Each structure stands twice: as structure tokens, then as C-alpha cells.
Chains A and B, each alone.
Chain A
Amino acid sequence: MPRIIVYTLLILGLLLLLPPVIAANARSRPNPNRPINIIQDMDLQAKFLPQTENDLFADKRSQRPAVLGTVARGEAYLDAHLNDGVVDGQWATTLPSQFTLDAKLLLRGQERFNIYCTPCHGYTGVGNGTVNQRAMELVANAEGPVNGTVWVAAKSLHDPTVTIQPVGQIFNSITHGVRNMAGYGSQVPTEDRWAIVAYVRALQLSQNASLSDVPSDKRGGL
């Protein structure tokens, strides 16, 4: 048999190994290239889904921001107590009439507080959250604050200046932020913000509780 034939066959045989090896490699680690898609079907249709591009607009957003001076249906903020925490020009001292203070509201408030507030204020609200601690470390760095970090410590929610505040004022702080704290109005819906307010109140009470606040049948557990 001529040499050339033998070698050609050997090389062809080796080439057969190539596709499986390429595939195994592609499978084993992440790849920065867009997946190949030969048969397009109707994968990309002329419709706009949330968070996609629309080249018709200069900012390319398919989800259009509300036009200035317009109000969407159901977003007319006419109830000052519910939406601003204000009653007759004063901070509201009670929950809006839409809510009843029960275990369900407090549990919802606890869950939401743990998502949105604990990073800075900590689980008990004293201000020892992970982000707060890390920010303090960055500021206290030996060679000066890292990347110009500045940080005002997240205030303890048990500080007397906070515990005396009416619920309406705390609601306003969450919605629009206070001084160095950003507002959470865009991240947390109104109902959940009131639930958080109720939970913050419960936390404050829990830190200043006395034995007489415990129902007499539960005192044995202390």
C-alpha cells in the first residue's frame, strides 16, 4: 500500500476526533460569543418585549418613560395619607385606613425590611448591616479612603430622634430618602412601604420593651 494513502487515512481518522473535542470544550466552560443560531424560525419578531431596544428613539428604550406632566391610569396620587404619609398638613400618626395592623402586615414588613433595609441598617435596625460595615472599612483604609469612598453611618432606627417620629415621617424617609440615604419609592411599592413602617415600629418597641409588655401566659418562657 503506498505510504501516502496510509498517512491520508490516519490524518482523516484523527480529524474525526476534532468535532467531539471542540464540542466538549464548548460544553465545559463559559463562552463570551453569542450562541450560533442557524435556523432562525421566528426567534426575533417585530415586537417589543420588556427591557429591549427600540431604535426609533434616541435613548433606545422600548419601555418609554412617562411623558412629563402626564399621569398614568391608577397612578393619581390623590390620597395624601396613603401616598405621602400626610394628614391635614401634618405627618400622619396612624396607618392609612386601607391597612389593618395584624401579623400578616408585620410579616410582610419583616420580609421587605430584610430585603431592602438590612444591607445598611442590619436585621435589628441598629445600623450594623454588611454594606455599612464594608463602607466603614473602605473609609478607614490605611492609605486613605478607597476610590474616594465617603460614608455616613446608617442611623440606628432606635435613636431617640427616630423613635419619636410619627409613622408618616418614616414613610416619607423611605419614599424620598433623607439626607445621605437614597429614596426607595421606585423600588418598593406603596403597600410594602407601609408594611415596612409598621415593622420598623415593631422593631423599635421590641428594643424598649419591659416585662409588663409580655402576655402573662408567655412570661414563663423568658
Chain B
Amino acid sequence: MSRFLFPRWTNNLLPFILVTGAIMPLYAVLVVAYGFSPKTIDAGYMPTQPVPYSHATHVGKLGLDCRYCHTTVERTSFAAVPPTQTCMNCHTQIHRESPKLAEVRSSYETGLPIEWVKVHKLPDYSYFNHAAHVNRGVSCVECHGRVDQMEVVYRHSPLAMGWCLECHRDPIDRLRPVSQITNLAWDQRIEMTREEREALATQYHINPSENCSTCHR
């Protein structure tokens, strides 16, 4: 009866197997941490919208203020995506036969909403409030990035809990006067000194909460 014997060359493999065995767990942890982090998975989501609407044109070039369209940001928890009527303030006249606006015109005629694809979405068990941030000196740019330069909006931030808390723990650098909220090109880290920002925090009584019930209610 012949027994199976490992061939002699397998001895050379032994150190290799040991080294790989030691490295593999580390590799797996790193890949999962990097690859499944919200920065990889959630940030950068850029869906195709039904109308090729460009913030770069309307905000960057024409200089419209965010609140012209997103009228509710300062008053309510959610930021309203504008109704078709808002587009038609201008587009009944400007580019009124443009094929790019066909969807807007048909929505205006039928009264059915344009089905914009939601880009930013928190899980339903978490609570977010725009008014609480915008009226306390946190600019759109801190969370949404340079929207005024985007042809198509994409998700700039991971919107993960760690990301929210990072700012709630140390908001000083990310505060600016409420009058500059929608001025995305303005940067408080350049225009203001740290002392001025600290003074602002005292003036606005900024004390962001880390209680679970603030965001999970």
C-alpha cells in the first residue's frame, strides 16, 4: 500500500504560507475598512436626472441664490426641491422651445411633478434638520460641497453618523456669519481668524448635541 507523501518542494512553500497567513487578516481588515467605508460606498452618488438641469449654469454663472429655488431651507427641516412653477418663472420665455426642457413643459401642462432622483438620503431612523444648521452659521458647502460648480449634483459627503459627529464635536472651523450661508465660494478658514469664529460660536450660542435622541427620535 502506497502512502501519500508531500513532495520535497513543498518545504519551500512553508515560510511563504506562514507569511501570507500573518498578512491576510490585516489585508482583509484594511480592504473592508477602506472598501466598505461610507466614503467609498455612499459619497459620490451621481444619478442621472430627468432634466439636464445644471447648478453650474444657474448658480455659478447666473448667480441665483440657493434660496430662490430651495425656499424652505431656513424655515423647515427639509430643503424643498423647487416645483415646476419655479423653473417656469424664467423658462416660459428663456429657451422656451429647448428640447432639454421638454420634460419641464410637459410637467407644467399636466400638473404632474418632475420625478427628480433623490441624491442625498439619510436612513429613515435618523433625523436631520436644515433650519437648525443653516440659521446657526453652517453653510451648504460644508455638507454638499461646491454645488455651484456641479453640472450634475453628486453626493459630496458620506452622510455617515461618524461624519455628523465629527462636526458636532468641533464645529468652530465650520461656522460662518449667517449672511454668507449660500455664498459657496466664501471660505471662513481664509476670511476669518479662529478667534473671530470662536466669537461667532458664542454669539450664536452654538453647542451641538451628541445625545442619541438628537438624531434618533
Inter-chain CA distance A20–B127, complex, in Å, is 33
Q: Give residues of chain B (63-108) contacting chain A, Cβ–Cβ below 8 Å.
A: 63-65, 67-68, 71, 76-78, 80-81, 83, 85-86, 88-90, 92-98
B195 → A minimal CB distance (Å): 26
Q: Which B residue's beta carbon lies closest to that of A12? A: B20
Binds A, one of B36-44, B166-174, B202-210: B36-44
Known: A146-B95, A149-B96. A43 touches B71 (CB 8 A): no
Tell me if B12 and A59 are in contact (CB < 8 A). no
Inter-chain CA distance A74–B42, complex, in Å, is 41
Tell me if A34 and B47 are in contact (CB < 8 A). yes
Inter-chain CA distance A47–B125, complex, in Å, is 11
Known: A115-B68, A149-B94. A131 touches B62 (CB 8 A): yes
Inter-chain CA distance A22–B35, complex, in Å, is 8
By a CB distance below 8 angstroms, the chain B residues around A150 are 93, 96
Mark A1-40 against chain B: 1 for CB-CB distance below 8 A, else 0.
Answer: 1100000010000001001101100110111111110000
- Give the size category of B's interface with A: 35 or more
Q: Which B residue's beta carbon lies closest to that of A37? A: B41
Q: Which B residue's beta carbon lies closest to that of A61? A: B113
A169 within 8 A of B: no
Q: Which B residue's beta carbon lies closest to that of A46? A: B124
A38 → B minimal CB distance (Å): 9
By a CB distance below 8 angstroms, the chain B residues around A33 are 45
**Contact of B94 (CB < 8 Å), options: A111, A151, A187:** A151
Tell me if B31 and A186 are in contact (CB < 8 A). no
Tell me if A119 and B68 are in contact (CB < 8 A). yes
A29 → B minimal CB distance (Å): 7
Q: Which A residue's beta carbon lies closest to that of B100? A: A147
Tell me if B124 and A42 are in contact (CB < 8 A). yes
Looking at chain A's contact residues, is the secondary structure mostly helix, strand, loop, or mixed? loop
A203 → B minimal CB distance (Å): 18
By a CB distance below 8 angstroms, the chain B residues around A147 are 95-98
B33 → A minimal CB distance (Å): 10
Inter-chain CA distance A9–B92, complex, in Å, is 66
Known: A20-B34, A30-B45, A151-B94. A1 touches B12 (CB 8 A): yes
Known: A42-B124, A119-B68, A130-B63. A35 touches B45 (CB 8 A): yes
Tell me if B125 and A43 are in contact (CB < 8 A). yes
A81 → B minimal CB distance (Å): 24
B214 within 8 A of A: no
Inter-chain CA distance A16–B9, complex, in Å, is 25
Known: A51-B80, A130-B62. A26 touches B44 (CB 8 A): yes
Q: Which A residue's beta carbon lies closest to that of B30? A: A20
By a CB distance below 8 angstroms, the chain B residues around A42 are 123-125
By a CB distance below 8 angstroms, the chain B residues around A138 are 94-95
Query: B residues engaging A (CB < 8 A)?
Result: 9, 12-13, 16, 27, 30-31, 34-35, 39-48, 61-65, 67-68, 71, 76-78, 80-81, 83, 85-86, 88-90, 92-98, 111-113, 115, 118, 123-125, 152, 154, 179
Q: Can you report 18 residue pairs joining A to B where beta carbons are below 8 Å apart?
A: A1-B13, A26-B35, A33-B45, A42-B125, A59-B112, A111-B179, A115-B65, A115-B67, A119-B62, A130-B62, A130-B63, A134-B94, A135-B93, A135-B94, A147-B95, A149-B94, A151-B94, A187-B71
